[in-house]
Amino acid sequence: MKLVQNNPEGRAGPSGATDLAAYALRLYIAGQTPKCRAATINIKTICETYLAGNYKLEVIDLVDNPALAASDQIVAIPTLVRTQPLPVRRIIGDLGNTERVLAQLDLVPRPA
């Protein structure tokens, strides 16, 4: 059910073991709305840029899994949840502001 986009194309990180990825992220969306599409693209870009090989990203479409909305306490869409490392962090919105997303994820922006 879960649309898992996990270290695409076997680009294994330095650790090699994706299950032990330092970063576990979940992006909750509801259908393919512009906002959701934008969020999906934005987070993928950020992950690839900053966490390549060291992350696990799940994109969960609540239209397909409505029950998860309640169990995972989702109100706003899109919502990005960092489940690892602790503490759990939440960012809502289309994730267009990269600096804010990085700050929330405790990542240091890389000079362009």
Partner 1 sequence: MTSTKATPAPPAHPAAPQIPKTPTGIEGLDAITDGGLPTGRATLVCGGPGCGKTLLAMEFLARGALQFNEPGVFLSFEETARELTLNIASLGVDLNDLTRRKLLVLDHVRTDRHNPEASGDFSLDGLFIRLGHAIEAIGARRVVLDSVESVFDGLPNRLILRAELRRLFGWLKDKGVTSVITGDGSDRALTRHGLEEYVSDCVIELAQHTVGQASSRRMRVIKYRGSTHGSGIYPFVIDPSGIVVLPITSKGLAHAVCDDRVSSGIADLDTMLGGAGYYRGSSVLVTGSAGTGKTSLAAQFCDRACARGERALYFAFEESSSQIIRNMRSIGIDLAQWVDKGLLRFQATRPSFAGLETQLMLMYTAVKSFGPQVVVVDPLNGFLIGDNVDEVKFMLMRLADMFNTSLITGLFTSSGIGDHANGSHEASISSLIDTWLILEHLEMSGERNRTLSILKARGMPHSNQIREYVLGSSGVHLSDVYIGPRGVLTGSARMTQQAQEQADALLTQNETERLRLAIASKQRALEAKIELLRDELSLQEEQARRIIGLEESKARQLQQDRAAMGIYRTRVAPAAPGAKHEAGPEQP
Tell me the C-alpha to C-alpha distance, in Å, between residue 5 and each of 11, 63, 77, 106: 12, 18, 19, 22
Return the H-helix or E-strand segment holding 28.
strand 23-29
- Out of 12, 76, 106, 109, the only residue in the binding site for partner 1 (CB under 8 A) is 76
Tell me: does residue 38 bind partner 1 (CB under 8 A).
yes
Tell me: does residue 28 bind partner 1 (CB under 8 A).
yes
Cα–Cα distance for residue pair 104/63, rounded to 1 Å: 26
Tell me: does residue 62 bind partner 1 (CB under 8 A).
yes
Minimum CB distance to partner 1 smaller for 24 or for 69: 69
- Out of 17, 67, 108, 112, the only residue in the binding site for partner 1 (CB under 8 A) is 67
Interface size with partner 1, residues (CB under 8 A): 34
Are the C-beta atoms of 35 and 78 separated by less than 8 Å?
A: yes
At residue 70, φ and ψ (nearest 5 deg) are -75, -45
Local structure of 84: helix, strand or coil: strand
Q: Tell the smallest beta-carbon distance from residue 43 to partner 1 (Å).
A: 10
**Binding interface with partner 1 (CB under 8 A):** 28, 30-31, 33, 35, 38-39, 62-63, 66-67, 69-70, 73-79, 88-97, 100-101, 103-104
